[in-house]
Chains A and B, each alone.
With several copies, the nearest count.
Chain A
Amino acid sequence: MKNKVFRTFQEAVADIPDGSVIMLHSFSGPGGIAQNLIKALREQGAENLTLIGCNLGQISGVGMLEYQESSSGEIPGLRERIDAPGLYSLILGQSYTTPAVLIENGQVKKAITSWAGTSVVGIESPLEKAVKNGGIQLEIVPQGTLAERIRAGGAGLGGFYSPVGVDTVYQEGREKRNIQGRDYLLETPLKADFGFVRAYKADLLGNLIYRGSSRSFNPLIATAARTTIAEVDEIVNPGELDPEAVVTPGIFVNRIVRIEQGAMK
């Protein structure tokens, strides 16, 4: 049996060359983000990367504070909301890692995403700032179309016709076609050199299960990346996952790294 388990995140990302296309998930909140792989790639330093992910503008509340302090100054009220006791600050006050750290670190030349901003109106994201400075090329894609394009990449399709974005500015540069009385736009598949996946458990064959709303783009990324690296809470023996409940078949997973106990999950 091929060994897919890597001991450290550093080793798992060591061979990612400059110019790679990386697919990775980020959506609202820390759930489902491969934070340790992102941090390892920041440390590794590969440049001229293309990132593909749902919300590449996303930064945590604490991240927003830090980022704003180092750039455009204070965010009215954010500090108070983070410091306040209760549920809202539990979300906003989390300090977690998002793909934005790669953008801030100057490693990214292109971003394909559905959301370039932060989740707080009026707070500019590192991605938006880099786009305005001309440092990053941005392609904005509707969220469901982005998910489907990644699936199409994994599925070996040449493209698909979607009704989303017809007769909006999004259709510029896209082929519009009427099929049986309805207009559609031609969408092309997305593939990646490396996919970063955050899962709950892996078995030694690479079969993965996820947790709740953290599943999201992760299983799609696994199918569309030439090399898929999964960070997981637990690695178990084949047979310990319910075969009816496996979400990502092991065939799609090349490398597995266990997240240290006690690390941010």
Chain B
Amino acid sequence: MKTRLDTEVIAMRVAKEFQDGDCVNLGFGIGADAASYIPPDKTVIFHSEQGILGYGRILTEGEEALADFNLTHAGGKFVAPQPGMCFFNHADSFVMVRGGHLDVTVLGALQVSEQGDLANWSLDPAGRLGNIGGAMDMPVGIKKVIVAMEHTTRDNRIKIVKKCTLPLTCPRCVDLMVTDLAVIEVTAGGLVLKEFAPGWSPEEIQALTEPTLILADDLKEMEL
């Protein structure tokens, strides 16, 4: 089987989308690691939904002495304090989210449709149980929605579909998908293949994608 990009490389590619000064919510999953790949010439301000703006890097093994249970991000990992950070309550945190004040969110997905519909909160088609968390709030309010995911399920079923069969998290919200095979933009005209992983052809990616991909004029191999 051909090599696909690992989650770290997906996170690196996602990080390239952040602009200087952007306020970004990473949720958890692959996207959360994008925080580690911000180039030094850019300031990106991270938001965590329980009420932090501007937290510092995620602590790594060996930094136990810095760990503070009052300074963890939404994914439950310890983060470092950073000059200029601030705290607020959970309602004010979602004033930022719902009110359109954040620039980018990076989410995982179970399915994404041709129209940018996102399904990522329940594997039960009827949506009983399931964990919504902040998944429905983020894509409604945040300006740019990036999905970071594996292109297909572990048992090789297609995730990028014409119409989602799993319960939707939010219709018509996804702007960009970064997968282990490709970078795909959601446009009014359809899905545009912008970049492909090294060693993969557009035809091979199309075969693992249900809707017809439009090839970008500047289609190229993914650069990091």
Interface residues of chain A, those whose CB is within 8 Å of chain B, are 1-2, 27-32, 54-55, 57, 86-88, 90-91, 94, 114-117, 119, 128, 131-132, 138, 140-145, 147-148, 150-151, 153-157, 162-170, 203-205, 207, 210-220, 223, 237-241, 243-244, 246-247, 249-252, 265
Contacts and interface: CB of A to CB of B under 8 A. Distances in A.
Given A87-B67, A143-B133, A167 B168 contact: yes
Given A140-B132, A204-B84, 5 more contacts: A169-B168, A205-B45, A220-B90, A223-B95, A251-B47
Contacts of A214: 69-70
Nearest to A25: B90
Contact of B21 (A2, A116, A219, A220): A2
Interface pairs A-B: 7 shortest CB-CB: A239-B83, A238-B84, A144-B94, A28-B76, A246-B86, A212-B70, A144-B137
A115 B76 CA distance: 14
A145 B47 CA distance: 18
A229 B196 CA distance: 43
A32 B72 CA distance: 11
B136 A170 contact: yes
Contacts, number: 230
25 contacts: A28-B74, A31-B69, A87-B62, A90-B64, A91-B78, A144-B97, A156-B97, A156-B100, A163-B141, A164-B140, A164-B141, A168-B136, A168-B171, A170-B132, A210-B87, A213-B51, A213-B87, A214-B69, A216-B51, A217-B90, A223-B95, A244-B87, A246-B87, A251-B96, A265-B69
Contacts of A265: 69
Grouping DSSP codes into helix (H, G, I), strand (E, B) and loop, the B interface class, with mixed when no group exceeds half, is: loop
A81 to B, nearest CB: 12
A210 B148 CA distance: 34
Contacts of B61: 86-88
A219 B89 contact: yes
Contact of B91 (A30, A132, A220, A239): A220
Interface stretch (B52-60, B152-160, B199-207, B216-224): B52-60
Contacts of B86: 207, 241, 243, 246, 249-250
Interface in B22-57: 23, 43, 45, 47-54
With most chain B CB atoms within 10 A of its CB, the pick from A2, A218, A249 is: A249
A115 B102 contact: no
B98 A163 contact: yes
A154 B90 contact: no
B216 to A, nearest CB: 29
Interface of B: 20-21, 23, 43, 45, 47-54, 59-64, 67-78, 81, 83-91, 93-102, 126-127, 129-137, 140-141, 167-171
Contacts of B90: 54, 143-144, 147, 216-217, 220
Nearest to B75: A28
Given A31-B69, A251-B23, A237 B83 contact: yes
B137 A145 contact: yes
Contact of B64 (A86, A119, A170): A86
A211 B81 CA distance: 12
B97 to A, nearest CB: 6
B87 A154 contact: no
A15 to B, nearest CB: 19
Contact of B72 (A28, A55, A250): A28
A57 B131 CA distance: 9
A87 B70 contact: no
B99 A223 contact: yes
Contact of A128 (B64, B72, B101, B129): B129
Contacts of B99: 153-156, 223
Nearest to B69: A31
A102 B66 CA distance: 32
Contacts of A204: 84
